[in-house]
Amino acid sequence: MITNFPERLDPALVRPGRFGTKLRMDYLQLPALLDMLGLHFGAVLRESGESGTDESSDGNDNAGGGVSQPLRAIRTFERGEADSVNTSAPPKLSAYDVARVRDVVAALNDSRKGREGEDVSGLMISPAEVESMCAVSTTLDEFLLRFSSRFGAPQASANVQ
């Protein structure tokens, strides 16, 4: 059973033990947005054991002594060492791209605060909207332009390089 309004369901349907799984389809938070963008525009492979939503990262995605993840994976394979790169994990954005996305989101939040005068909650966008924007965008820059225009601030992404 799927509903957008769980409060309208009969209490007998939602009592404990009736359904074992609840799937929430909330608006995206920034870590989930970065993961989705990594799927479409990411070029950095994840280390084995890395989940991708870890917020404790210091933002340095090149932790291998200045060697990019794909290049390090190739060198590891050539030397026959143990594989340290999880090739089954989805790609992620580079630290530079993550910073660009964070800057655009911060600029959009600031412009909304300025227009509305009050403190506003984060940008409210569904995973389906982000997915559809990713599907029609060929680059991260193009996505950021679409994303900015979705919130009525096309000038916020004009500085994106």
Q: For position 47, what pLDDT does the model report? A: 66
Residue 92: phi and psi, rounded to 5, are -130, 170
| pLDDT level of residue 37 (50, 70, 90 thresholds) | very high
Domain locations along the chain: 24-42+93-161, 43-92
DSSP string, 22-70: -----PPPHHHHHHHHHHHH--BPPBTT--S--TT--S---TTTT--HH
Classify residue 143 by its DSSP letter. Answer: H
Structure tokens at 111: 């412009």
Which among 5, 21, 15, 33 is positioned nearest to 123, based on CA atoms? Answer: 33
In tens, the pLDDT along 106-138 reads: 998 888 777 666 555 677 888 889 999 999 999
Residue 90 to residues 8, 13, 45, 119, 148, Cα–Cα distance (Å):
38, 37, 7, 35, 25
Cβ–Cβ under 8 Å, residues 86 and 48: yes
pTM: predicted TM-score of the whole model, two decimal places: 0.58
Structure tokens at 3: 């509903």
